[in-house]
Amino acid sequence: MSKLKGKVALVTGGSRGIGAAIARRLAHEGANVALTYNRSADKANAVVGEIEQAGRKGLSIAADNSEASAIKAAVQKTVAEFGQLDILINNAGIFVAKPIGELTLADFEQTIDVNVRAVFVASQAAASYMGEGGRIISIGSNLAEHVPTSGLSLYSLSKSALIGFTKGLARDLGPRGITVNIVHPGSTDTDMNPASGEYSDGQRSLMAIPSYGKPDDIAGFVTWLASEESRFITGAGLTIDGGTNA
């Protein structure tokens, strides 16, 4: 369990759900891990406790992903604490689902600020500290590639924007030996979209494997992408959704 020994990672939105699972898995593979949170300080500190129980160093940082200055400060604080930054996981995001006629300009601005601008800001800041072997991995959504129902136009817009950004950034950073990829999860059992929720049966009906994913499923894949084994993959969108988009 040492694929990432000596590495330092920053996971945005790492206090719960997929982000927390990623933070824990990176630590179990040897990385020291910083994570940001917005409101869940207790949960963030609990994840840091698990990181430290795994024998690694952990750090929780309060940062609202809608504030560009807070994102930059989180990157800087990670480097100040650990002396380097090798892996950035852009995980924090929000989900707004409404028919187009009900969406407001405030909905649009908040979604773009958190789901798109923050990824740009964090990636730009992190890249300035990364050397060869650096990894930038964004968490997108299978809804960036296929939209099976109404009310998802704004969310799908925000996640599909990250596809183009990932491809362009991979070109920018490839000569420095830094890879950039985006992972597109499908329905995953978290508090935001529980497997026992109101809409879960409809989501399962779309899958080739009619079962929700677990946060650890996503975390394992992301951790592999963060390792040396993925060195020849960059600019890619990689879908892990039980075959929903098949």
Report d(CA 245, CA 208) in Å as an integer: 9
Radius of gyration (Cα) for the chain, nearest Å? Answer: 17
Percentage helix, strand, coil for the chain under 3-state DSSP, each rounded to 5:
45, 15, 40
Q: Do residues 47 and 58 touch, judged by C-beta distance below 8 A?
A: yes
Annotation marks residue 212 as catalytic: no
Query: Angle at the Cα of 122 (from 116 to 125), degrees rounded to 5?
Result: 140
Beta bridge partners of 32: 8
Report d(CA 26, CA 51) in Å as an integer: 9
The count of other CB atoms within 10 Å of the CB of residue 186 is: 24
Please pick, among 129, 155, 199, 212, the residue that the annotation labels catalytic: 155
Alpha helices by DSSP H, 29-181: 41-53, 68-82, 105-112, 118-127, 153-173
Query: Angle at the Cα of 219 (from 217 to 220), degrees rounded to 5?
Result: 70
- CA neighbor of 176 nearest in space, from 138, 133, 136: 133
Report d(CA 24, CA 193) in Å as an integer: 20
Q: Catalytic site residues?
A: 155
